[in-house]
Chain A
Amino acid sequence: MSGLWALLVLLAVAWLGGLVGPRNTSRGQGLASGAEWVALGFVVGPAVLGLVSREITGALAPLAGAGVAWLAAIVGLEHGAAGRKLAPARQLAAVLLVLPPFLLVAAAVAATLAWREGTAFLGGRDHLLLSLWVAAALAATSRSAMRWAVERQGARGPVAQLLGDLTFADDLAPVIVLSALSAHSAVGLVREPAGLVGAGVASLALGAVVGLGAALLVRLDARDDAIAATLLGTTLVVAGLATWLGLSLIASAYALGRTTAMASGSRERLASLADRLERPVLLPTLVVAGSLVDPLARPGLLPIAAAAIAALLAGKVVSSLALAAASPPLRRSALALGPALASPGPFAMCVGLVASLRSPGGTGGAVLACAAAAVVAGELLSPTALRRALGRAGALEARPPAGGAPAALPEAGP
């Protein structure tokens, strides 16, 4: 019966997750990053109270993996902005702004590993992989951060719009990294004919091919029921195939969502349909991810996580300065904007969870633990800093609006 109880617990969490959102807005209560759900999973999990055993978390982990695929597909569907196309310049800016935190986090983790283990910088494949996985997990900003600022603090205007757009488009770079990282785990069937580079893009290619099929299927039958079945079906197909072929689950599902949105001609409708099922999937996934966090997954994890978080902050400050240089209204708030954008959110936990599923303990466990630490730290720093930054940029109204987000701002997600 333990599996059934675990499932019941998971559904109860999903139920709670759905209840905490008010009726008239798509988001609302709780923390932007979902850190409280991660913490809940961690506390009840085997590492702390042990109310949920390792056997149960192990049984639930694959289900959470399927949840990650669905969430990644939603991120792809909503890339840029739900229901509208983002200007290419802004998309490029989003990708470029992720690079400083990505590079700094990777370097900091690699340096800490070298220091702790007395090896050369990037001394071995394990160090390289761990550095890149952690960097990919942490580099993007939670898409919920700006949504929360809009709903709770009344953020408005072009600055709020710009930051909202950027947080909705900056997942692309980490996704590409994840796809490339999967080259080393791809099965021979993929790696031998395609080579390392080919295997590196295979995850994205798989998602794009199935996504094209999904788009045609959406055009074939545009009933809501049929679209929902197609989206869910193709996401699960991609999740199954990616796992089977040793490819990146997140990159494939993301590419599926993005291709479907672009090729179906129904971007807004698809995003709206997928969004309905986002939060009930997201929260149980976060709880399971939290329960799998093991602070002892690797010796010296604490300094690694601390270095990663410090590098993330530094990287976001660099990005903010670059952004402020290009956008005059942000100049007065450039320094506060760094920590404001240092909230990795659910995407980081999804990456950590997949890493942990692929390589339990060791590297995977370390990625998940770093992601959890960064999510909690980001939640402590980011909301206050964001409020300050938006206030200095003149993007905050005196009182929060009653009716939720303006139509132009994208829906939030992981």
Chain B
Amino acid sequence: MSAGGRPTLAKLAGAAAGLAIVALASAVTRAVPGDPGFAGSVGAFGLLLVAGTALASALEPVGFPHLTAFLVAGSVMGPHVLGVVGHRAVEDLQVVNTLALALIALAGGAELRTAELRGALRGLGWATLWHNLVGVVGMAAVFFLVRPIVPFAAALPAAAAAGVGILWGVTAITRSPSATLGILAQTRARGPLASHTLNFVMTSDVVVVVALALALTGVRPLLEPGTGLSFEALGEMGHEILGSVALGTTLGLALVLYLKLVGRQVLLVLLALGLVFTQLFSWLRFEWLLIFIVAGFVVQNLSRQGPALLREVERAGEIVYVVFFATAGAHLDLPLLASLWPAALLLAGARASLAWGAQRISSRFADDPPAVRRLGFAGLVSQAGLALGIAAKVASEFPSFGAAFAALAVAVVSVNELAGPVLFKVALDRSGESAPAAEREAGAHPAAGESAGHRPR
């Protein structure tokens, strides 16, 4: 559909229809007592799809990112606002959420092409160094300074506060592959900014895992006086990363064989991988997100099956993104955000500012194109599941303050989750890399045998 080509009346009618369906479901939810069980989760899934799609379509003409529309729709429908999607449904939908993230990771890996990476290696190297260095050190310092307004950190001794600050810094350097891919899928952007952001975000996952292991090892003596340095976490990290890369490579090669020899029902195979194998990998204590990124990378770069894989993932298209972000929206703890907003806003603002600064420095070293230099930070603001995963890990490692740490992380991630996609889309639009509406429309109806995949250059 051409965004501006449809009569306004049809848009209004469509938006009203979406609202009416939500209102109907809301009325039933309130009027019929009792736990709806599985029916509630099925209905909730459907409602998130309907509301997310309707809101995104209705706001498309004003340039609102689809992802943010999905998030807003999810949070409005979620347990803290309308309550149409209840806590139980949100928990039940985590399975679907995991599937969506697995597909996103697979597509993300498949979007990384060695030819492009080689060309961008210098920029990528400097960006990785500066963003992570400035991110961890800078955010640790900011956390240390603002700790008087952070409820759980105000009373901590200076050494312990520094330790928590370092953990906070590691949480802050996580990015959101799903948001990056979602915005690129919507805008079908091509150019240095799109390419730089994609490459950086997809490879940053490994850095974060390493940084977390180092931080957990290093800060323990600060947080738990009397304990010495233990390298157990580093050993676990090595096992996790090497194992995940090996499993990802194997999975990628298996996918190559399947695509080449069978080549049919690929979406169902991906469903099985996303629904079942993610659980299996987690159970074996491997980093399944990394496994899927590596698998996608292997398919793209060690075979000719990359376009076929991307095409199959994109067949699930919008549904994957709606489910993932609308569920994330429903998960947003708005009351918590309301109680922690001053600290959350301050920390989110500081993180974005540091990303801007780090980008300027790294671009100077790498001699990046002007678009990357000016706007490269914009795609790095979004955060999602990985940040929350790290917060949960910290919570389990340090029970004394972990729960409060995780709560603050949820609040900050909420801010970044809402603001990040808007910033990235604005940046892509301003840099002129977003495809025109007509081309996006053509991308939604790919010709037979043609990949509809995003192709950043």
Q: Which residues of A line the B interface, CB within 8 A?
A: 4, 7-8, 11-12, 14-15, 18-19, 23, 62, 65-66, 187, 189, 209-210, 212-217, 219-226, 228-230, 232-241, 243-245, 280
Name B21's contact: one of A18, A210, A223 (CB within 8 Å): A210
Task: Please tell me if the beta carbons of B21 and A240 are within 8 angstroms of each other in the complex.
Answer: no
Q: What residues on A are CB-neighbors of B16 within 8 Å?
A: 216
Task: Please tell me if the beta carbons of B42 and A66 are within 8 angstroms of each other in the complex.
Answer: yes
Nearest B residue to A215 via CB reads B17
Bound Cα distance from A407 to B124, whole angstroms: 54
Task: Please tell me if the beta carbons of B15 and A223 are within 8 angstroms of each other in the complex.
Answer: no
Task: Please tell me if the beta carbons of A245 and B28 are within 8 angstroms of each other in the complex.
Answer: yes
Q: Is B1 an interface residue (CB 8 A)?
A: yes
Task: Please tell me if the beta carbons of B49 and A233 are within 8 angstroms of each other in the complex.
Answer: yes
Task: Please tell me if the beta carbons of B6 and A220 are within 8 angstroms of each other in the complex.
Answer: yes
Given A210-B21, A224-B317, check contact A240 B50 (CB 8 Å): no
Nearest A residue to B53 via CB reads A229
Q: What residues on B are CB-neighbors of A226 within 8 Å?
A: 1, 53, 57, 318
| A–B complex contacts, Cβ < 8 Å, 22 sampled | A11-B268, A11-B275, A12-B272, A66-B42, A189-B31, A213-B17, A213-B20, A219-B14, A220-B10, A223-B445, A224-B444, A224-B445, A225-B319, A229-B319, A230-B49, A232-B319, A233-B50, A239-B43, A241-B25, A243-B42, A244-B28, A244-B40
Q: What residues on B are CB-neighbors of A187 within 8 Å?
A: 32
Name A240's contact: one of B18, B46, B262, B317 (CB within 8 Å): B46
Bound Cα distance from A19 to B264, whole angstroms: 7
Q: What residues on A are CB-neighbors of B32 within 8 Å?
A: 187, 189, 244-245
Size of B's binding interface in residues, CB under 8 A: 55
Q: What residues on B are CB-neighbors of A15 within 8 Å?
A: 265, 268-269, 272
Bound Cα distance from A4 to B278, whole angstroms: 11
Q: Is B45 an interface residue (CB 8 A)?
A: yes
Name A220's contact: one of B14, B42, B45, B264 (CB within 8 Å): B14
Q: What residues on A are CB-neighbors of B114 within 8 Å?
A: none
Bound Cα distance from A19 to B267, whole angstroms: 12
**Minimum C-beta distance from B18 to chain A (A):** 6
Describe B's contact surface by its main secondary structure. Answer: helix
**Minimum C-beta distance from A34 to chain B (A):** 17
Task: Please tell me if the beta carbons of A213 and B21 are within 8 angstroms of each other in the complex.
Answer: yes
Name B14's contact: one of A189, A221, A228 (CB within 8 Å): A221
**Minimum C-beta distance from A249 to chain B (A):** 9
Task: Please tell me if the beta carbons of A239 and B268 are within 8 angstroms of each other in the complex.
Answer: no
Describe A's contact surface by its main secondary structure. Answer: helix
Q: Which residues of B line the A interface, CB within 8 A?
A: 1, 6, 10-11, 13-18, 20-21, 24-25, 28, 31-32, 36, 38-50, 52-54, 57-58, 60, 262, 264-265, 268-269, 271-272, 275-276, 279-280, 317-319, 322, 441, 444-445
**Minimum C-beta distance from B340 to chain A (A):** 33
Q: What residues on B are CB-neighbors of A210 within 8 Å?
A: 21, 24
Further pairs besides A217-B57, A236-B46: 15, Cβ < 8 Å: A15-B272, A213-B17, A216-B10, A216-B13, A217-B54, A220-B11, A225-B319, A226-B1, A226-B57, A228-B319, A236-B47, A237-B21, A237-B47, A240-B47, A243-B42
Nearest A residue to B271 via CB reads A11
Name A209's contact: one of B1, B24, B319 (CB within 8 Å): B24
Bound Cα distance from A145 to B274, whole angstroms: 35
Task: Please tell me if the beta carbons of A225 and B49 are within 8 angstroms of each other in the complex.
Answer: no
Task: Please tell me if the beta carbons of A235 and B18 are within 8 angstroms of each other in the complex.
Answer: no
**Minimum C-beta distance from B252 to chain A (A):** 20
Task: Please tell me if the beta carbons of A217 and B53 are within 8 angstroms of each other in the complex.
Answer: yes
Q: What residues on A are CB-neighbors of B11 within 8 Å?
A: 220
Q: What residues on A are CB-neighbors of B272 within 8 Å?
A: 8, 11-12, 15
Nearest A residue to B44 via CB reads A240
Bound Cα distance from A210 to B381, whole angstroms: 38
Task: Please tell me if the beta carbons of B276 and A220 are within 8 angstroms of each other in the complex.
Answer: no
Task: Please tell me if the beta carbons of B317 and A234 are within 8 angstroms of each other in the complex.
Answer: no
Q: What residues on B are CB-neighbors of A234 within 8 Å?
A: 21, 46, 50
Task: Please tell me if the beta carbons of A236 and B57 are within 8 angstroms of each other in the complex.
Answer: no
Given A236-B46, A237-B21, check contact A220 B319 (CB 8 Å): no
Bound Cα distance from A6 to B20, whole angstroms: 37
Task: Please tell me if the beta carbons of B45 and A62 are within 8 angstroms of each other in the complex.
Answer: no
Given A19-B265, A229-B53, check contact A220 B43 (CB 8 Å): no
Q: What residues on B are CB-neighbors of A232 within 8 Å?
A: 46, 49, 319
Bound Cα distance from A236 to B52, whole angstroms: 14
Nearest B residue to A276 via CB reads B315
**Minimum C-beta distance from B90 to chain A (A):** 14
Name B53's contact: one of A8, A18, A230, A280 (CB within 8 Å): A230
Nearest B residue to A61 via CB reads B38
**Minimum C-beta distance from A405 to chain B (A):** 19
Task: Please tell me if the beta carbons of B17 and A241 are within 8 angstroms of each other in the complex.
Answer: no
Bound Cα distance from A19 to B40, whole angstroms: 33
Q: What residues on A are CB-neighbors of B15 within 8 Å?
A: 220
By CB atoms of chain B within 10 A, which of A8, A11, A230, A245 has the most? A230
Task: Please tell me if the beta carbons of B317 and A235 are within 8 angstroms of each other in the complex.
Answer: no
Bound Cα distance from A235 to B38, whole angstroms: 15
Q: What residues on B are CB-neighbors of A11 within 8 Å?
A: 268, 271-272, 275-276
**Minimum C-beta distance from A287 to chain B (A):** 14
Q: What residues on A are CB-neighbors of B41 within 8 Å?
A: 240
Task: Please tell me if the beta carbons of A244 and B14 are within 8 angstroms of each other in the complex.
Answer: no
Q: What residues on B are CB-neighbors of A236 within 8 Å?
A: 42-43, 45-47, 49
Q: What residues on A are CB-neighbors of B47 within 8 Å?
A: 233, 236-237, 240
Task: Please tell me if the beta carbons of B42 and A239 are within 8 angstroms of each other in the complex.
Answer: yes
